[in-house]
């Protein structure tokens, strides 16, 4: 290989209910929206962009592979650090988000909790206990 992969710049997520999932990222997670059209919304974090795409548009993007249904099971989890896991969980719960797991202290020195967005993507929030 004659190229160097150093970082991930964009995470592409697919959503069957695009409007609801976009609202989740805007209203619950309060992520800044940097681009949108009828089927795409791009949210910018400090180090990565999240490109949310309406599932109806995905076959053209990933052909010849097929898009899996939301109930097919998880293949990855996105993680982000927060200052206070308990406070973040309280805020998520206030917005009607059900936690999948946690908060729990992990043996490697972090406190974590997991939740999903409306399209079924799993997120983990972590707090450094050190």
Torsions phi, psi for 72 (to 5 deg): -75, -15
Over residues 94-130, the pLDDT tens digits come to 999 999 999 999 998 999 999 999 998 999 999 999 8
Residue 38, domain CATH: 3.10.180.10
* Helical H segments across the chain, by residue range: 18-23, 58-62, 85-94
Looking at residue 32, its pLDDT comes to: 96
- 3 — pLDDT class (breaks 50, 70, 90): low
* Shared domain check, 130 and 82: yes
Find, among 107, 125, 128, 108, the residue nearest to 116 by Cα. 125
Domain boundary among 17, 39, 65: 65
* Helical H segments across 12-110, by residue range: 18-23, 58-62, 85-94
* Shared domain check, 57 and 18: yes
pTM (2 d.p.): 0.82
Looking at residue 5, its pLDDT comes to: 63
Instruction: Provide the residue range defining the domain that includes 113.
Output: 76-130
Domain tally, the chain: 2
Over residues 39-58, the pLDDT tens digits come to 999 999 999 999 999 999 98
């Amino acid at each position: 290989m004659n190229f160097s992969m150093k970082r991930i710049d964009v995470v592409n997520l697919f959503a069957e209910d695009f409007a609801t999932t976009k609202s989740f990222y805007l209203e619950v997670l309060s992520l800044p929206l940097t681009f949108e059209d009828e089927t795409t919304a791009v949210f910018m974090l400090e180090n990565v962009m999240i490109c949310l795409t309406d599932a109806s548009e995905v076959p053209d993007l990933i052909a010849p592979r097929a898009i899996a249904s939301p109930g097919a099971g998880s293949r990855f989890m996105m993680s982000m650090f927060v200052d206070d896991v308990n406070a973040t969980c309280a805020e998520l719960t206030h917005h009607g988000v059900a936690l999948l797991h946690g908060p729990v202290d992990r043996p490697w020195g972090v406190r974590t909790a997991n939740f999903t967005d409306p399209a079924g993507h799993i997120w983990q929030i972590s707090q450094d206990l050190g």
